Amino acid sequence: MAKAAKTAQKKDPKAALESKNWTKVIRAVRSPKTGAYTFKEQIIYKDKVNDFLKAK
């Protein structure tokens, strides 16, 4: 029987709770020059998602 890998480390519970408050947001942005779409992605606090999506 093989041994279990010991790469899993105990995570800090406070850090795990804090990471749930962050979100990765991806927005398609059209280039005025070529008309092609590019994607702007950012990891932001979950309360500021709407502000990110409304901004140009």
* pLDDT on residue 3: 61
Specify the pTM: 0.56
6 - beta bridge partners?
Answer: none
* pLDDT on residue 17: 73
* pLDDT on residue 1: 56
C-alpha atoms less than 13 angstroms from C-alpha of 54 in its C-beta half-sphere: 4
As a whole number of angstroms, the distance between CA 18 and CA 44 comes to: 12
Report helix, strand or coil for 25: strand
* pLDDT on residue 2: 61
How does pLDDT run across 1-56, given as a tens digit for each residue? 566 655 555 667 776 677 888 999 999 999 999 999 999 899 999 999 898 888 86
> The tokens of 51 are what?
């502000």
